[in-house]
Structure 1
C-alpha cells in the first residue's frame, strides 16, 4: 500500500537540513539514501522560507521520473528557470512544442556519422594540449583547469571553426560568473528580482551581455555565409524542419550557448576524474597503455575509427563517470501525484534524481566506492538495470551530445596517455561541490612523465 509518510533527515530545529545541504549536498544525499531508503524527503530553511524536495535514489525510480513517466516530471523547477533566464530557451531548457521543434532541427547534427566528423578537431586540440604539457613547470598540471581549457577549446573549434579565438576569451571569463550566479539563485528559497541593481546582479548581467555579444557578432558576420560553413554553427544555421522553418538569430545564439555550457563542462569533469583515478591506479594505467600501444602501433593520429578499438580505455572512462557523474543531480517538478516505489509523491513537488547516489547504490554495485573498470565489461553491463548508470540522463530528454562527449573523452585520454605516464598528487577522495555540473572543490594535480 503506497504511503504518504516519506522518511528523511530532520536536521536541526527550525532549519531542517539547510546546513548539511549547503556544506556537503552530495554527501547528504548519499547518507540519506543509506539511512532512509530510495525515496527521501528533505526540508531546508526557516519557517516561511522553507524548501521541500524529494530525493529519488533507485534505478527504478530514475527510470520512472526520466523515462516512463517523463511527461509528469517537467523542467519547471527553480534551477532550470534560472538557467533559462541566463542562457535562453535552448535545447537543455525548452519544453513541449519548442523542445520538439528544436530536437527535430538539431538531431541530424548529432548522428554518430556527423559527430565522427568532429574527430579531426578533437585530435588537433589534444595535440596542442600535449605539446603545452610537455613544457609544464615541474611536469605538473592542474587537471581541473587543463581539462576545462581543452574541452572548451574543442567544442568552440567545432562550433565556430576559424572564429574560435574571438569567442574563447569571453567564454572563459564569463561562463564561471554566470554558472555561480545561476547555482546560487537556484538554491535560494527566496530570490530577489534580477532587475535590482545589486553588485551580484550587475556582474551577472554584464557577463550575460558579453556572452550574447560575442555569439551575436559571429552569427551576424557570417550572415548568409553561415549556412555554407562546415562547423556546427554553420550546420545549425542551415538546418530546416519539415516546413522549411529555421532557427532565427536569437535561437541560434541560445543553442550555441547551451552547447558551449553542456559541451565543455561535462566533458571536462569526466576527463579530470579519469586522469585522477588513473594516476592512483598504475596497474589500470598500464593496461590502458598496452591497449594504446597495440592500436597505435603504426604511430597514426587518433581518428573516430579508433573509438571502438579502445574498449578498456572506454571502460575506465565509464567507471570514472560512475563515481563522478558530471550531472550529479537532476531536478524535475511533479505535475500530478504519482507513486515511486511505495511512496506517494504529491503534485507540485520538487523531485531530484541523483546519478551520484544511484551510481553508488549498494543493491546494484558491489563495493560501490571502489574503482573497478571491469564493471563495464560487456557482460557486466548487460546484466545491470538500464538506469543503474545514467550519466547522460535518460528518456526523451537524454543528452543529445552523448556520443560527442564519449568520443572527445576517449580520443583526448588516448592522446594524453600515449604521450605521458600520469601520477596523481592529491588524495584519492577529492572534495566535491556542484553547481550546474559536478566540480572539484580545489585543484586536482597530476605529475607527468614523458613516455
Structure 2
C-alpha cells in the first residue's frame, strides 16, 4: 500500500517538481501529501488567500512552484508565458485539470462548454457563438431593463429609504435576468423563485465551496462518497434539472415562448445545428443552458456588487458616472441599444472593477503535450506532460510594470484619448484576463457586460446609495471572488418610477384569512409582481388594488408572521379576470382558483437556522482529519504487517533499494519521525548490506582456515 501511495500520489508530483526545479523555477519546498495546505488554510482563516498568493509572487517572481495539498502546481503571472498556455496556437496542448471536472461535472454534467474538451468543445462553441452575437443580445435589452426596474421597485416596498445587502439583492436580479433571457421565465415569478430555484442555487454553491475548502474535490475517491454535503448538491441538481427538462418540453410543445424581442437562448439552442446538420440533444441543451445560467449569474452578480462598492468608496467616480447617466438617460429614460453605447464612463468603471476584482482570480490548465512556454531570448520553460499551470490573473492585474498605480481604482485608464479618440493600449495583449482568453474564454462576456451596464445605469438613475459604516468588506475566493460578508448600503429613491404613469382601469381584489385575534394584518402587504403595485388590507383582511392594466401578474402576500402561496391573475383586454395556481415546474399545467382571491396561511416563516450540535464524530469524519490520518496510519501499520510476511518484506526492500538511489527520495519513515517524534530506523551495517552473498563467502573462508590448521 505504501508503494501504491508513493507511486500514485508522491512520485509523479515529485518528478514534475524536480524537473521544473532543474530548469531554475523557484518556489515553495516539496512536502508530500500536505504541500502548502497549512499555510493556505491559515491565510483563508485570516481572509487573505489572494493576498498570500500575491506575496508569493513578490517573493519568487512571476512564476513559481506551489502545492495545493498533494497536487503540485506552477503558478504564473507572466503575459508571454500565459499567451503560450491559453493562446490559440497551443489550444490542443492543454485541457482543464481533473479537479475542475470533479467540481463541476456533478453540477452541470460533462457535455457543455465549461467542462468538455477537444472536438466536442469545438463543435459546441461553433454552434453557440451565434447565440451571443450582438444582434441577439440587442433583443434581450428589454428584459434586462424590465427586470432591473422591478428589482429597484422592490427596494422601496415600505418607504423611500431602506437598508439592503447589495450582493444578495443583485444576486436575485442577475439570476432573474438570466432565467428570463434563457428560458422565458418572467420576472413576475421571482417571488416564489427566491424560495425555490434561487435558494437551491445558493445552497448548491455553498456545498461546493465547503467541499473545495476541505480538499474533497482533489481526491476522486472522497468526492464520490455520500458525505460532506454531497446530498445537497445531488438534490439541488435534481431539482434544477427536472425544472429545466420541463421548460424544454414546454417550449418544444409550444406551451411557452421567448420573452425577448427575438429568440431567447433556449430557442437558439433548439435550432442550432453543426456542420453535419446535427442538432443538440435535449441533455446537451439542458447542460448548456444550466452552464450559462449558473456561471453567468455568479459572474455578473459579483461584478455588480464590487462595482457598487468601489463607487460608494470613490466619490469622484460616482459623480462622473451619475453625470453621464443624467446626460445620456435624462428624465428616467429607459436604456436602449443606441443609448447604452454612449455610457463610456460606466463601461470604464466596470472594466476597472474587473481588473481589481476579476470574477475568476485564478484558473488552471493541464499540459497534455510537452512543449516550451516563454518568449524567445527570455526565460523559457519546458513543461512536462501532466503539469498543471495555474494562471494568477489577480496578481497579473496588479503588476507594477504593467499598470500604473496598480492597487488604485482609476477608471480613467480605460477612457479614450481626448485628442486622438483612440482606446488605451494595454502593456501586453495578455495582461488583462477578467474572462480568461483564447478558445476557452467566457462566451457570455458580452452578455455580462451589457447586462452590467444596464443595471449600473438604472441603479444610478433611480437610486442613491450610501455604504453603511463599520462593515468588514472581505474578498473571499473559492470558485469566484465575492464579498464574504456581503455589502450593506442605505438606498434612497431619487425619482418616481415612470411605469406608474398611464395605468389602466382594472382592479385585483380578494381577502387575506388569518386566525382570529391575529394582528399580522397590520404589517401585511399585497404585492403585484414584487411591488409593481402594492395593496394594504383592511381590518377584515379584504383588499382592492386599482389601476392595473391588462396582463398576467403574480399576486403575493408579504407578511412577517405568515406564509401565503402566491397566485397568478390574468386580466384580458376586456377586463375579464382569471385566477390560477402558480406552477413553476410545469407552467403549462393550469389549475384555476376562485376569484376574488382568498389567501390562507400555510405556516410561519422560518427566520432562524438551528445551531449545529458539536459532535466528536464531526471531527473524526472531517475530510481534513482523514486525509492526514489515513496516510499516517498506513505508514505506521503497514511496515509491521509487512514484517510478518517475508516475501512482502523482500519486495518492499527491493523497491526501496531501486527507488532511493535513482530518485534520491527521502526515507518516508524518517521524515515523519522528524515531524512527529519517535525513533528512527537503524541504518544497516556494511555486513548487512552485503546480503546473503557476503555470508556465503565468509563461511567458505572459515572452512579453509580450519582445514589449514588440521594439516599443520
Under a length normalisation based on structure 1, what TM-score does the superposition of the two structures give?
0.91
CA distance in 1, matches of 2:53, 2:197: 32
Which residue of structure 1 aligns with residue 144 of structure 2? Answer: 122
Which of the pair is proportionally richer in helix?
1
Counterpart CA distance in 1 for 2:457 and 2:55 is: 36
Name which of structure 1's ranges 334-343 and 284-293 shifts more when overlaid on structure 2: 334-343
Matched, 1:241 2:278: no
For residues 346-369 of structure 1, the C-alpha deviation after alignment (integer angstroms, 9 at most, x for no partner) is: 221111112111111111112211
Q: How does 1:14-163 map to 2 (within 5 A)?
A: 15-22=34-41, 23=44, 24-45=48-69, 50-67=70-87, 68-88=89-109, 89-135=111-157, 139-162=162-185
Preserved contact between residue 163 and residue 218 of structure 1 (Cα < 8 Å): no
> Aligned in 2, Cα 1:358/1:132: closer, same or farther, shift over 3 Å?
same
Are 1:231 and 2:264 an aligned pair?
Answer: yes
1:200 aligns with 2:233: no
Q: Residue 276 of structure 1 contacts residue 446 of structure 1 at CA under 8 Å; is this kept in 2?
A: no
Q: What does 1:292-307 correspond to in 2, within 5 Å?
A: 292-297=325-330, 299-307=332-340
- Distance in 2 (CA, whole Å) between partners of 1:57 and 1:370 is 19
Quick one: distance in 1 between partners of 2:365 and 2:208?
Answer: 16
In structure 1, runs of 5+ residues without a counterpart are none
For residues 86 and 395 of structure 1, do their structure 2 counterparts lie closer, same or farther at Cα, with a shift above 3 Å needed?
same
Deviations 1:90-148 (A, max 9, x none): 11111111112211221111101111111100000110111112347752211110111
| Alpha-carbon offset, residue 331 of structure 1 | 1.2
Q: CA deviation at 1:73?
A: 1.9
The 8 Å contact of residues 183 and 266 in structure 2, kept in 1 or not, is answered as yes
1:59-113 residue CA offsets vs partner (Å, 9 max, x unmatched): 2222221114232121133123421232112111111111122112211111011
Aligned to 1:450: 493
Give secondary structure in 1 for the equivalent of 2:52. Answer: helix
Aligned residue number for residue 278 of structure 1: 311
C-alpha contact (below 8 Å) 2:73/2:388 kept by paired residues: yes
**2:106–2:234: 8 Å Cα contact kept in structure 1?**
no
**Secondary structure at the counterpart of residue 264 of structure 1:** helix
1:365 aligned partner: 403
Q: Is the radius of gyration larger for structure 1 or structure 2?
A: 2
Residues 1:345 and 2:383 are matched in the alignment: yes
Give the 3 Å change call, closer, same or farther, for CA 162–196 of structure 1 in structure 2. Answer: closer
Runs of 4+ in 1 over 6 A off after TM superposition: 11-14
- Gapped regions of structure 2 (runs ≥ 5): 1-19, 418-422, 495-712
The aligned residue for residue 252 of structure 1 is 285
Equivalent-residue separation in structure 2 for 1:345 and 1:184 (angstroms): 32
| Contact 1:269 1:326 (C-alpha < 8 Å) held by counterparts | yes
What TM-score, normalized to structure 2? 0.59
1:219 to 223, 248, 252: 248
Distance 2:29 2:324 in 1: 50
Superposition deviation, residue 390 in structure 1: 1.5
Give aligned pairs, total.
446
> Offset of 1:18 from its aligned partner?
0.9
Deviation at 1:328, TM superposition (A): 1.1
- Residue deviations 1:303-330 (CA, integer Å, cap 9, x gap): 2222210101110111111110111111
Judged with a 3 Å threshold, the aligned counterparts in structure 2 of structure 1 residues 171 and 331 are, in CA distance, closer, same or farther, namely farther
